[in-house]
């Protein structure tokens, strides 16, 4: 078993203290002694991977953690280098970041804002993490992003799909590579119109919290622009486990499409229930009844089993993509762990690389330098084609995938097939688009 010789902030501090002279018994160090918070002074730099390890998203968190470990390995020159070789920016050479060995600490967000912030704070205050990344829900991402802004740490969001993360809750120190509700709508609507026609009547079931609201808004406005009619939108409690009471009224409406703005366990259960109630066998207004799941996750598709077959949805990335970056990442992840990576793993891996590259290009770990390096950064070779990190809202703009549940999966990881790669131009929106209004980045905060 390979030993990652992890040392924490401790050794760095020890070095610093020793350098200052052990003869002096006590040294008071005010925070302002360094240029920015947690400035790495030793031979290593610590990143904080804050993912759900308990609770319903624990498996997703585990996959994110695998990707982070892989990224650290590649940054430190281990393994096959993964996407380092396909990444258009060539500053990363396997010698860590700015010559410092990359180390990491992990924490458990529990998919709760409070716990996630506690965990992030512990990484910042105790372990001296210079960057926090991870998460598997928008609520957590927004909460941790705000914390990092206050603490003067860079936050590279993991899986967060709500418009708000780079909309009304955007922050100067926070960056999102993952796509968002608006992009899902923009990518899905034309495909849906193409497959199901433009005179459809849609019934929405929406998880009763922020992500649900933004997704519902994005999908309704995108599909209505195609000529669809929104018959009804119904909010379902997050805690609901059985959606039959929400599914049956669909039978009595004249809707011929059901849109499930649900994620995770909610999506598994609502989709399962909808299929149980025979919605997919219905013919309404002479048309076959259809179900749409705006945001797909492979792990959740697995939970829904047979029921996902033929159902459209969108996803940030899929391992079956054939570009060089995706192939390199899938090979390297698959060789190490024995199964293909999820989209959550992909976005987390890419975020780590993007951060490392930005530091390298800026020549400094200073958050403000990193922000500057990432803003307006254009790159390619990380799996979604040419991508822009937009300066105005710190959102990545890249191709979005429309996928469909596969009819004949060859394994439990091969559940989705790519229907269309929606080009980036089609999902780009102005940064002051109404669905993203109300936020302000503020200025970068180095923490001192």
Footprint (CB under 8 A) of another protein, residues 314-343:
319-320, 330-331, 334-335, 339-340
Which 170-229 positions form the footprint of another protein (CB under 8 A)? 172, 208-211, 213
List the one residue from 35, 58, 388, 391 that touches another protein (CB under 8 A): 58
DSSP H or E segment with residue 217: helix 210-225
Which 346-405 positions form the footprint of another protein (CB under 8 A)? none
Which 413-442 positions form the footprint of another protein (CB under 8 A)? 413-414, 439-442
Indicate the DSSP class of residue 309: B
Please identify, using beta-carbon distances, which residue of 127 and 357 lies nearer to another protein.
127
**Which range in 20-28, 175-183, 219-227, 254-262 contacts another protein by CB under 8 A?**
20-28
> Taking a C-beta distance cutoff of 8 angstroms, is the pair 424, 408 a contact?
no
Distance CA 173, CA 128 (A): 17
Place of tokens 């968002």: 180
Place of tokens 């033929």: 310
287 near another protein (CB under 8 A)? no
State how far Cα 296 lies from the chain centre: 12
Which 132-161 positions form the footprint of another protein (CB under 8 A)? 137-139, 142-143, 146-147, 149-151
Distance CA 315, CA 317 (A): 6
Please identify, using beta-carbon distances, which residue of 12 and 84 lies nearer to another protein.
12
61 near another protein (CB under 8 A)? yes
Please identify, using beta-carbon distances, which residue of 212 and 313 lies nearer to another protein.
212
**Which range in 218-226, 255-263, 407-415, 427-435 contacts another protein by CB under 8 A?**
407-415
Distance CA 130, CA 315 (A): 30
Nearest approach in angstroms of CB 426 to another protein is 28
Distance CA 319, CA 436 (A): 30
List the one residue from 134, 303, 313, 325 that touches another protein (CB under 8 A): 303
Please identify, using beta-carbon distances, which residue of 223 and 330 lies nearer to another protein.
330
DSSP H or E segment with residue 401: strand 400-405
Nearest approach in angstroms of CB 294 to another protein is 17
Place of tokens 């497959």: 195
Site string for another protein, 23-42 (x = CB under 8 A): --xxxxxxx-----------
Please identify, using beta-carbon distances, which residue of 56 and 386 lies nearer to another protein.
56
DSSP H or E segment with residue 185: helix 181-196
> Taking a C-beta distance cutoff of 8 angstroms, is the pair 377, 178 a contact?
no
Kind of pairing, strands 131-134 and 44-51? parallel
Nearest approach in angstroms of CB 121 to another protein is 4
User: In the β-sheet with 312-315, what is the strand arrangement from edge to edge?
Assistant: 229-236, 201-207, 257-261, 290-295, 312-315, 400-405, 416-422
> Taking a C-beta distance cutoff of 8 angstroms, is the pair 248, 255 a contact?
no
288 near another protein (CB under 8 A)? no
Distance CA 155, CA 172 (A): 9
Residues 6+ apart with CB under 8 A from 253: 201, 203, 231, 232
Nearest approach in angstroms of CB 91 to another protein is 26
Nearest approach in angstroms of CB 237 to another protein is 5
List the one residue from 86, 163, 307, 360 that touches another protein (CB under 8 A): 307
Nearest approach in angstroms of CB 225 to another protein is 25
285 near another protein (CB under 8 A)? no
Which 252-281 positions form the footprint of another protein (CB under 8 A)? 252, 265, 268-269, 272-273, 276-278, 281
Which 87-116 positions form the footprint of another protein (CB under 8 A)? 105-108, 112-115
Nearest approach in angstroms of CB 161 to another protein is 13
State how far Cα 415 lies from the chain centre: 20
Distance CA 207, CA 219 (A): 14
């Amino acid at each position: 078993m390979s030993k990652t010789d992890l040392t924490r902030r401790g050794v760095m501090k020890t070095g610093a203290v020793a350098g200052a002279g052990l003869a002096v018994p006590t040294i008071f160090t005010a925070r302002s002694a360094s240029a920015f918070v947690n400035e790495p002074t030793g031979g290593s730099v610590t990143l904080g991977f804050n993912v759900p390890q308990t609770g319903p998203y624990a498996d997703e968190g585990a996959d994110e953690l695998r990707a982070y470990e892989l990224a650290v390995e590649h940054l430190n020159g281990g393994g096959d280098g993964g996407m380092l070789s396909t990444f258009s920016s060539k500053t990363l050479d396997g010698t860590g970041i700015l010559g410092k060995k990359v180390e990491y600490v992990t924490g458990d967000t529990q998919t709760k804002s409070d716990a996630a912030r506690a965990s992030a704070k512990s990484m910042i205050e105790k372990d001296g993490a210079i960057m926090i990344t991870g998460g598997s829900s928008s609520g957590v991402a927004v909460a941790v992003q705000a914390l990092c802004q206050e603490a003067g740490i860079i936050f590279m969001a993991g899986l967060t799909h709500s418009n708000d993360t780079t909309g009304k809750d955007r922050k100067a120190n926070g960056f999102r590579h993952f796509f968002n509700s608006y992009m899902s709508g923009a990518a899905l609507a034309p495909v849906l119109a193409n497959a199901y026609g433009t005179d459809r009547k849609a019934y929405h079931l929406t998880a009763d919290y922020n992500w649900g609201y933004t997704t519902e808004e994005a999908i309704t406005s995108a599909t209505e622009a195609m000529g669809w009619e929104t018959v009804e939108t119904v909010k379902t409690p997050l805690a609901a486990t059985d959606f039959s009471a929400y599914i049956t009224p669909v039978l009595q409406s004249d809707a011929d499409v059901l849109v499930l703005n649900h994620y995770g366990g909610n999506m598994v259960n609502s989709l399962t229930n909808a299929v149980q109630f025979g919605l997919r066998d219905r013919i309404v207004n002479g048309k076959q009844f259809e179900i749409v799941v705006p945001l797909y996750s492979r792990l959740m598709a697995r939970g829904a089993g047979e029921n996902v077959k033929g159902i459209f949805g969108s996803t940030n990335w899929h391992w079956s993509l054939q570009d060089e970056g995706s192939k390199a990442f899938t090979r390297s992840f698959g060789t190490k762990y024995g199964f293909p990576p999820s989209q959550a793993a992909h976005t987390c891996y890419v975020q780590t690389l993007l951060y490392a590259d930005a530091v390298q290009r800026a020549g400094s770990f200073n958050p403000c330098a990193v922000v500057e390096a990432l803003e307006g950064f254009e790159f390619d070779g990380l799996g979604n084609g040419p991508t822009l990190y937009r300066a105005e809202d710190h959102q990545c703009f890249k191709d979005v995938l429309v996928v469909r549940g596969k009819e004949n999966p060859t394994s439990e990881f091969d559940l989705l097939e790519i229907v269309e790669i929606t080009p980036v131009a089609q999902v780009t929106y102005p940064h002051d688009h109404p669905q993203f209004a109300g936020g302000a980045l503020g200025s970068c905060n180095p923490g001192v």
